[in-house]
Structure formats: structure tokens, C-alpha cells
């Protein structure tokens, strides 16, 4: 109920033009990413450098942590394939296409909201990643923005402002939903976007977080 109160705005339904979605952890599970970062890359690293898998995993994880998620390289599979000398990332990623999984309510949510709003993607993943993650659902979106590939940035307030400009809408005419408290909630909310934090497993103590996308549809209907 708190969520309803906080998100409540007069005439919201007539103002909202665009629903913007994060991708990983929001529309698509982390299965594909997990397979890239914690299976394929360590396996190839072990083979390339003649190490046991455990050892390779440790080295790879240390390297990931040394970069961290505030730097663009963190998100860039091609960077890691080059850094570790693992061959061509594109071909390796294609092999893992069957590991892409959508959340149970994803298709229905897009179909439902697509009837009333323009749907857009605002992702921190590079386009070479989105190509795989969005393959079966991309027809739902009128635009796809990748902060890394399009703006050379993580998802900052400025990234969201640029999206507003390109979509020719005001921040208050957008609803954005995503699972990262900083990149999907704090940053977009700071410029006036109606941001919804999605916490599927209830890991954060955010009292206004949504547990799934269906809850967002319910909230939007009330306005």
C-alpha cells in the first residue's frame, strides 16, 4: 500500500507515454550472463592458460572484482575475451543463446502494456549482449538504449535525460522499472522519472520495491 501512496500522482495515466525496462534481472533472468561470466569464460581461461577450473575461476573472479561494476569494461564481454585471449566473443555468445530465459510474466507484461504505452529498453548491457537477451521479445519495443554502447556510460541521471530527449517526452511521462537500486531507481527518480524498483527475491529492505512485473501493471491500472 505504501507503494501506491508514494507513486500516486494525479492524472498519472494520462501523463505516462513510455514504459522503460531494464533487461537483466527485470525481463530476462541472469542465466545467460551466468553462463558467460561463470561457465564459459572460466572454462576457456582454464584451457587457454593450462589451469584447473577452480584456479581459473579464482583468477577470473579476481579480475572481475578489480574492475567493478562502476566501470564500463565490467559489462563488456568483448573486453574480457580480449583481455584473457579467449578467441571471438560473438561466436561464443551465439553458442549460449539457448540459455536465455525470460521471467514467467515477461511476455504477458509486454503484450499488456504495449497496448497502451510505447515500450522502451534502458539497459546497462552492451548491444552485443542485448542482441541475445532481447532476441525473442525485441518486437515489443519502439526503442532500445544501451548506456554502455550508446553513451559510453553506466545508467546515470544524464543517461535517462538523454533518453527523454530522444523519445521527446518529459521525465514525468516515463515509468522505468528495473532491479538495480542505484541504476534503475535512484538515478532515474532523481530527474523526475516515475521509477519502480524491482526486488524479485526481497533481498533489499526497500519497502516500496515490487516483487514482479505484474504488480507494476496493477499499480498503473489504479491511476
Q: Rounded to 5 degrees, what angle do the CA atoms 105, 163, 29 make?
A: 25
Residue count at the site for Mg ion (CB under 5 A)?
Answer: 4
Name the residue number minimizing CB distance to Mg ion.
Answer: 25
- Bridge partners (DSSP) of residue 218 are none
Taking the CB of residue 154, how many other CB atoms lie within 10 A of it? 19
Least distance in angstroms from the C-beta of 184 to Mg ion: 7
* Residue 178 CB, nearest approach to Mg ion (Å): 5
Task: Name residues whose C-beta falls within 8 Å of residue 117's C-beta, 6 or more positions apart in sequence.
Answer: 16, 17, 18, 19, 175
CB nearer to Mg ion: pick between 86 and 100 = 100
SS3 8: coil
**Does position 25 bind Mg ion by CB under 5 A?**
yes
Phi-psi sector, 176: left (phi>0), alpha (psi -120 to 50), beta: beta
Closer residue to Mg ion in complex, CB, 118/155 = 155
24 binds Mg ion (CB under 5 A): yes
Q: In the complex, what is the shortest distance from the CB of residue 180 to Mg ion, in angstroms, rounded to a whole number?
A: 5
Q: Does residue 199 interact with Mg ion by CB under 5 A?
A: no
Binding to Mg ion in span 128-187, by CB under 5 A = 179
User: Burial of 74 by CB count in 10 Å (0-12 exposed, 13-18 middle, 19+ buried)?
Assistant: middle
Nearer to Mg ion, 46 or 177 (CB): 177
Stretch that binds Mg ion, among 15-23, 99-107, 145-153, 188-196 (CB under 5 A): 15-23
Stretch that binds Mg ion, among 20-28, 30-38, 69-77, 114-122 (CB under 5 A): 20-28
The single-letter DSSP state of residue 3 is H
Question: Would you say 63 and 112 are in contact if contact means Cβ atoms under 8 Å apart?
Answer: no
Binding region for Mg ion (CB under 5 A)? 22, 24-25, 179
Amino acid at each position: 500500500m505504501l507503494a501506491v501512496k508514494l507513486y500516486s500522482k494525479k492524472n498519472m495515466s494520462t501523463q505516462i507515454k513510455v514504459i522503460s525496462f531494464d533487461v537483466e534481472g527485470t525481463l530476462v533472468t541472469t542465466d545467460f550472463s551466468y553462463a558467460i561470466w561463470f561457465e564459459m569464460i572460466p572454462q576457456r581461461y582454464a584451457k587457454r592458460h593450462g589451469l584447473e577450473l577452480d584456479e581459473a575461476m579464482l583468477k577470473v573472479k579476481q579480475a572481475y572484482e578489480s574492475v567493478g561494476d562502476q566501470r564500463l569494461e565490467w559489462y563488456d564481454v568483448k573486453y574480457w575475451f580480449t583481455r584473457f585471449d579467449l578467441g571471438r566473443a560473438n561466436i561464443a555468445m551465439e553458442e549460449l543463446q539457448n540459455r536465455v530465459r525470460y521471467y514467467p510474466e515477461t511476455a504477458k507484461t509486454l503484450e499488456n502494456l504495449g497496448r497502451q504505452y510505447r515500450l522502451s529498453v534502458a539497459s546497462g548491457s552492451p548491444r552485443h549482449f542485448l542482441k541475445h537477451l532481447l532476441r525473442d521479445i525485441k518486437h515489443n519495443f519502439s526503442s532500445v538504449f544501451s548506456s554502455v554502447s550508446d553513451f559510453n556510460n553506466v545508467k546515470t541521471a544524464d543517461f535517462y535525460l538523454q533518453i527523454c530527449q530522444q523519445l521527446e517526452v518529459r521525465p514525468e511521462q516515463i515509468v522505468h522499472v528495473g532491479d538495480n537500486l542505484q541504476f534503475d531507481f535512484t538515478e532515474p527518480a532523481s530527474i523526475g522519472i516515475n521509477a519502480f524498483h524491482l526486488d524479485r527475491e526481497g533481498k533489499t529492505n526497500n519497502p516500496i520495491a515490487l516483487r514482479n512485473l505484474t504488480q507494476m501493471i496493477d499499480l498503473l491500472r489504479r491511476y
